[in-house]
Structure formats: structure tokens, C-alpha cells
Amino acid sequence: MHNFISFVLYRVLYGVNMGEEDLFGELTDAVVAGDKDRCRGLAEQALDEGVDPYRALMEGCAEGMNIMSDRYDEGEAYVPDILLSAEALYEAMDVLKPHIDVEDTGVSGKVLLGVVEGDIHDIGKNVLKSIFDAAGFDVIDLGRDVRPEQFQESIEKEKPDILGLSALMTTSMTGMPKIIENLQKAGLRERVKVMVGGAPISEDYAEKIGADGYAPNAPRAKEIAEKLLKQKREED
Amino acid sequence: MKDEMTSMERWKALLNGDPVDRIPVVPFASGFDASVNGYETMGDFFAKPEVQVKCQKRSREMIGYDEPPHLMPPGYWAEQWGSEVELPYRKAMSSPSVTDPVVKTAEDLEELEIPDPKETMQDFHKMVELAIEDDLYPLVTIWGGCISAVAPHMVSIEQFMKWLRTDPGLCEMALDKSAEFTISVAEWFAEDFGTDTWIPWDPLPTDANVLISADNFGELVVPRLKKVHQKVLDLGLPMWFTHWCSDHNKNIEAGHVDKIPHGDPGVIYFGPEVDVERSVELFGDEHIITGNVDPPSVQNKSYEEVLQLCKENIEKGKDSPRGYTLTCGCGVPPRAPPINVYAFVKASRKYGKY
């Protein structure tokens, strides 16, 4: 809050219009700092100054999430930091997104995420969602404790490119092959790439159950999703 | 291959520092125990004191391991605060889930009263009584002063994590309340059951470094967990059986684990993230070390593979100075094939004789 007040005072006193690059840098810093008030203020400023909202989002906010994602991966940031950064990111997104023309975004990937039935551990999935959002994916979050039928229904309705399944327990991980099997039976398996993750999941297990990708953590999941999306586009 | 001691003799000898005939097997198998007793879901196991005790006693007898019942209250240390809990009556669930934590705001937390154990823990008291009457020397959850006992039991994990950065005073308040509550439960149990009939245990998954930094753990949790552990030891309980669940490597490096009193010896139980060899090297001179075969392997691999993993674990831990138990890293998966749990016992008999 203190940073935000300083920022507002600075603008009121000096009336300075930042350059685009400076503004993007400020947005990046605000996301890294997890400062949601400052993020909202900067996003509003971007609109006021006629800055391309999509560029503000991707070159400003998303860059901040990338930094946090790398820091988390390297053990320099922790879940509390990521959650606050995600909150700041969403604050800016709320302001910018209504002004973004979908055709300008170049977003080509839709991801359906959920924690499998019987499992309410959704911190990892929530961190993943924010990283995917920042990367420009169109993310549909089914939440936690999601029944296999819900995944199937949503795939039919939303037609995602990627299905991301998360499980933190050895019991709930057994739900993953059932979901994949259901998709096969329903003739939906070829339509979607499936990636899996969570504490008890391994690359071997992912392969065994017929998933297309596995990520040991949220930052790696973004890379895997991008790779799977590329594969899918080539196959399509 | 014939055992020279009974399971209970072996368990008690381990804790007392007396010689054992072979490595004790303490797989941490609660949900699995319900499953092999024929329960389709884990609901009754967690809801009914007599079922929780009976299942653990019978499966121990059937499979031959040395684990006493380890007991968790039906309200999961959450209903007692007023949070909503779903018991695992659906097949996909393996443990109770906190569906609606009672604390949403700072005001909720400030106004939250510490529950009276005698009003909110009668079913747990009954559970402990049943196990003690049967001379089972149970492990009894005494859970407080740590994030794992607070989030999500009192407040959602996400909210607590945000408060760590925005308002750590609220985190301290929540931890203090949980510490006070659990100490009062321990005092009540010590008064009613004595201190030589049960062992307190606590799991610490949400305190792990996959979620929080060692600095946060050191500043907020260590003073409170230390207080809870010391108070309980001061009551006359001989030791703590503490499951440092998930990745606590940074907490180890920062010296935080050393600061928590576990008793002399206590039992230090790390997940597969900390190699047994390292546990022995760091804590073996002071404490009993548990093995930690990884749970997904116990669920998914063959009997021969699990036997081999147990053998490797035994070789690393067998000569730990204060004792070692063969254990499954974070508890046996409820749906693990029973033969894979038997592999633990077989490995102890085959490779773990003293």
C-alpha cells in the first residue's frame, strides 16, 4: 500500500507520463512485489495513456509472474510470495482484460485444469493457474475434488487443447487413469493432450497411465504445456 | 525365520532402547488398515473410535507388523474449532477433508475461542481409552503450534499463506491458539491415562519447505512447536513421534529440527525427501530414525520391487545408534496391495535381524 501511495503522490505532484517500457517495468515490479493496489493503478494508467492492454499484460504483468515462477523453481520464493503475486496479476488482469481484443492476443491454447476427485489440495493447481494465465493461456479451472464425469463434460463443452490433472494423494492419483480411460471410451482422447502432476506423480507413472506429459512443479508445467500445444497444432 | 519377540514386545523394546530381535516395522497404515478390514470407504474408520482401533489391531495381527494404533480424532482437529469437515465416506477419499474452515477474516480469528477438550474431544478420549484398555500403547495425535494444525483446520491454507506476508501477527495468533488447545488436550489425557501408556505424535506437512521458507518456519513455528513439545514432555510423556512430512531439508539445514524437543530419544520420521542415510547421520545419535520407502512405489510396484526397496532402506538405517524402524515414507497408501505391505515384514525378517 505504501508503494502505491508513493506512486500516486509522484504522479499527482509531477504529472509525469511514463514511457511504455517504464510502465511495463513498473507492472513487472508490482507483480513481483505482490502489490495488488499498485498493479491496479498501473493497469488503469496504461488504459488512460492508450497503451496496448495486451502488451501491458504480457510485457508487464506476465514478466513479473515469470520472474516469480523462476524464483520459486530455484527455491528463492515460496508459496506465500507466489500467491500474492498472482493476486496482483489478477488485479491488473481485471482492468486490462475487458479491453483486449482476443484476435490481438495470439493466444492459441486453451487449458482445462482440475484436482481429481477425493483430493482437496489445490495450492499447486492454483499456482499453476496463475502461471498459465500469465503465459497467455485461456485457462478454465474446474477447482478441486472434481469427478471424472465433470472433466469429460467440460472437455466436450469447452474443447480445450490441454487437460491438466493434479493429485496430491496416492488415493486420488488412481483417479487419473480412470479419467484418461473415460476419455478414450468417449472418443475424446485424441482431442486433448493430457498432462499430470502432483507430489506422488512421477514421469514413469504419467507414461504408465497414458498421459502425454508430466511436470514436477508448476514452473516446469508451463514449458510442458507449451510443448504439448505445439505438438497438438502440428498433429491438427 | 521365526520371530523371537511379539509385535508389542518389539515396539516397546525399541522405545525403551532395549535390544530387539529384528527391525520393527511401523508402516503407518491407517487407511490401509480400514481397507484390509473390508471397509469400502474410510468413513467409519475416521468416524467411529471402536472401528479405528479395531482395524489397526487386526491388520497388525494379520500382516505381522509392529505398529501400534495411531489415532486421529473424528473431528480431525478442525470440527473442534467450528470448521466443517467431510468424513471420507466417498471411495475416492482417503482421509477427512476440511471443507469450510471457520476463520475467514482477521475478526473471525480474533474472536475464535479455544475449545474445551472435554466438550469437543469426548470421542477421541474414548478412542484413546479403548486402545489403552487393550494395552496397545497407541500413538495419539497431539497437534498444535504448527501450521499443519492450523491450515486448513482453522483457516484455509491460502489465507494463512497470504497472512504470512501481509499480517504475520494473525499467523502467530492462530498458532498460539492451536498450541494452547493441544496442550490442554495432552494435559487431560495425561491426567486420565497417565503418561506411560501412550505416545504423542504430530505430522507437519504444511510446515514443509515446498510451501514456506525456513525463515518463516524458524520465526513463527519453532517457538510455538518447541513450547508444545516441551510442555507435553514436562507432563511426563517419554517422547514425541514426529512426522516431518514432505520436504524439510531447508528446515534441517537451518537447524530448526534440532531445536524441537523430541524426548531422549524421540522418533524422527522424515518423508522420502530426506534420505535415511542422512537422517541417521544427522539425528541417529539422539533419536530413533524411521525408514521411508516411498508410498507411490508401495502402491504401484511389484512385491519383489517393494521388497528390494525395503532391503535398501534397512541397509541404510539398521545400525542407527538409537534404533531404526522400517516405515513407509508418508504412510501406506490405503489401496496398496496387501502383499506389498507384507513385503515390509518379510524384509525385516530376511534382512533386518540383529
Pairwise CB contact (< 8 Å): B161 & A79:
yes
More confident residue, A135 or B85: B85
Nearest to B193 by CA among B143, B134, B149: B134
Is ipTM over 0.90? yes
- How distant, in Å, are the alpha carbons of A25, A131, A136, A160, B190 from that of A58? 11, 12, 7, 22, 59
Pick the residue from chain A with its C-alpha nearest to B298: A170
Nearest to A75 by CA among B22, B281, B7, B213: B213
Q: In whole angstroms, give the CA distance from residue A67 to residue A190.
A: 34
What is the DSSP code (8-state) at residue B147?
G
Residues B22 and B80 in one domain: no
Residues B176 and B271 in one domain: no
More confident residue, A103 or A21: A21
Distance, in angstroms, between A197 CA and closest chain B CA? 13
Pairwise CB contact (< 8 Å): A80 & B296:
no
Nearest to B249 by CA among B280, B222, B209, B300: B209
Query: A25 near A55, Cβ under 8 Å?
Result: no
Residues B280 and B340 in one domain: yes
Q: In whole angstroms, give the CA distance from residue B280 to residue B292.
A: 12
Query: B11 near B24, Cβ under 8 Å?
Result: yes
Residues B229 and B301 in one domain: no
- How distant, in Å, are the alpha carbons of A2, A144, A153, A228 from that of A159? 44, 20, 10, 15
Residues B23 and B48 in one domain: no
Whole-number pLDDT of residue B1: 54
Average of per-residue pLDDT across A50-54: 92
Residues of A in contact with B335 (CB under 8 A): 170-171, 174
Residue count of chain B: 354
Residues of chain B with pLDDT under 70: 1
Identify the weakest region by mean pLDDT among A121-130, A146-155, A158-167, B148-157: A121-130
Whole-number pLDDT of residue A16: 46
Distance, in angstroms, between A171 CA and closest chain B CA? 6
Q: In whole angstroms, give the CA distance from residue B337 to residue B118.
A: 39
Query: Which domains, from first to last, does chain A contain?
Result: 2-103 (1.10.1240.10), 107-235 (3.40.50.280)
Query: B274 near B304, Cβ under 8 Å?
Result: no
Pairwise CB contact (< 8 Å): A169 & B31:
no
Q: What is the pLDDT of residues B128-169, one digit of tens each?
A: 999 999 999 999 999 999 999 999 999 999 999 999 999 999
Residue A10 has pLDDT above 50, yes or no: no
Domain end among B255, B284, B311: B255
Residues B72 and B205 in one domain: yes
Q: In whole angstroms, give the CA distance from residue B186 to residue B200.
A: 8
Whole-number pLDDT of residue A123: 86
Q: Is B221 left (phi over 0), alpha (psi -120 to 50) or beta?
A: alpha
What is the DSSP code (8-state) at residue B103?
B
What is the DSSP code (8-state) at residue B5?
S
Distance, in angstroms, between A83 CA and closest chain B CA? 7
* Residue B34 counted as domain residue: no
**Residue B239, burial from CB neighbour count under 10 angstroms (0-12, 13-18, 19+):** buried
Query: B221 near B207, Cβ under 8 Å?
Result: yes
How many beta-carbon contacts under 8 Å exist across A and B? 76
Query: A71 near A77, Cβ under 8 Å?
Result: yes
Residue A3 has pLDDT above 90, yes or no: no
Whole-number pLDDT of residue B246: 93
Domain end among B225, B255, B285: B255
Residue A15 has pLDDT above 50, yes or no: no
User: Which residue in the set B161, B210, B296 is minimally distant from A202, CB to CB?
Assistant: B296
Whole-number pLDDT of residue A5: 53
CATH, residue B77:
3.20.20.210
Q: Name the H helices within A78-147.
A: 79-96, 102-105, 123-134
Residues of B in contact with A126 (CB under 8 A): 158
Residues B112 and B15 in one domain: no
Whole-number pLDDT of residue A103: 64
Residues B21 and B55 in one domain: no
Residues B140 and B102 in one domain: yes
Whole-number pLDDT of residue A35: 97
**Residue B113, burial from CB neighbour count under 10 angstroms (0-12, 13-18, 19+):** exposed
Sign of CA dihedral B132, B136, B142, B143: negative
Residue A8 has pLDDT above 60, yes or no: no
Residues B52 and B2 in one domain: no
Q: In whole angstroms, give the CA distance from residue B232 to residue B190.
A: 9
Residue A14 has pLDDT above 70, yes or no: no
Domain end among B217, B232, B255: B255
Residue A12 confidence class, pLDDT cut points 50, 70, 90 = very low
User: Which residue in the set B94, B162, B246 is minimally distant from A83, CB to CB?
Assistant: B162
Whole-number pLDDT of residue A104: 61
Average of per-residue pLDDT across A147-174: 94
Whole-number pLDDT of residue A220: 87
Residues B247 and B278 in one domain: no
Interface test with B, best of A170, A179, A205 (most B CBs within 10 A): A170
Query: B329 near B292, Cβ under 8 Å?
Result: yes
Query: A196 near A209, Cβ under 8 Å?
Result: yes
Residues of B in contact with A119 (CB under 8 A): 92
Across the strands, what pairs with B97? B86
Domain span at residue B318 reads: 1-29+265-354
Give chain B's domain count: 2
Sign of CA dihedral A72, A76, A82, A88: negative
Whole-number pLDDT of residue B307: 98
Residues B147 and B229 in one domain: yes
Prior bond of B68 cis (ω within 30°): no
Average pLDDT, chain B: 96
Residue A6: which residues within 8 A CB-CB, separation 6 or more?
none
Q: In whole angstroms, give the CA distance from residue B208 to residue A76.
A: 15
Whole-number pLDDT of residue A199: 86
* Residue B138 counted as domain residue: yes
